[in-house]
Amino acid sequence: MKIFQIINGHVNELLGINAELSEYRIENACKKCKVSHDKDGVFQNRCLKYRGGCGCRLPAATALKKKKCPRDVWYDNTINLDQLKKLKI
Ligand code: SF4
């Protein structure tokens, strides 16, 4: 992710911009995805790089309207259930 996207994501998170969209993505995709869970199965609130993710903090990454899940699980307000099934915890 580019630096301005990282900054935008954190500003959005801080100001509550796209908060509903962010919550929707996290609750319906990220919390069910093994990429955000460590090896003990604990949710880390981050798309973990060592698990094949982008390394981003989820509250910031999901608050960017045009960001796409690095593993194609979500985009806009759409969840790709087939893709999520492959990564499900
Ligand atoms: S791969 Fe996608 S769904 Fe999974 S934790 Fe990362 S951003 Fe969320």
Q: Which neighbouring-strand residues pair with 88?
A: 33
Q: Report CA(53)–ligand 1 centroid distance (Å).
A: 7
Number of domains in the chain: 1
Q: What is the pLDDT of residues 25-66, one digit of tens each?
A: 999 999 999 999 999 999 999 999 999 999 999 999 999 999
Task: Please give the residue range of the domain that contains residue 24.
Answer: 3-87
- Structure tokens belonging to residue 45: 């609130």
> What is the share, in percent, of the chain residues with pLDDT greater than 70?
100
The tokens 């919550």 sit on which residue? 23
Q: Which neighbouring-strand residues pair with 75?
A: 68, 78
Q: What is the band of 75 on the pLDDT scale with cuts at 50, 70, 90?
A: very high
Supply the mean pLDDT for the chain: 96
Within 8 A by CB and 6+ apart from 60, the residues are: 6, 9, 10, 12, 13
pLDDT for 2 equals 87
Distance CA 26, CA 59 (A): 8
Distance CA 56, CA 82 (A): 23
Which of 23, 24, 36 is the pocket-test mutation for ligand 1 (most atoms within 8 Å of CB)?
A: 36
For range 69-84, the mean pLDDT: 97
Report which ligand 1 atom has the smallest distance to the Cα of 36: 5
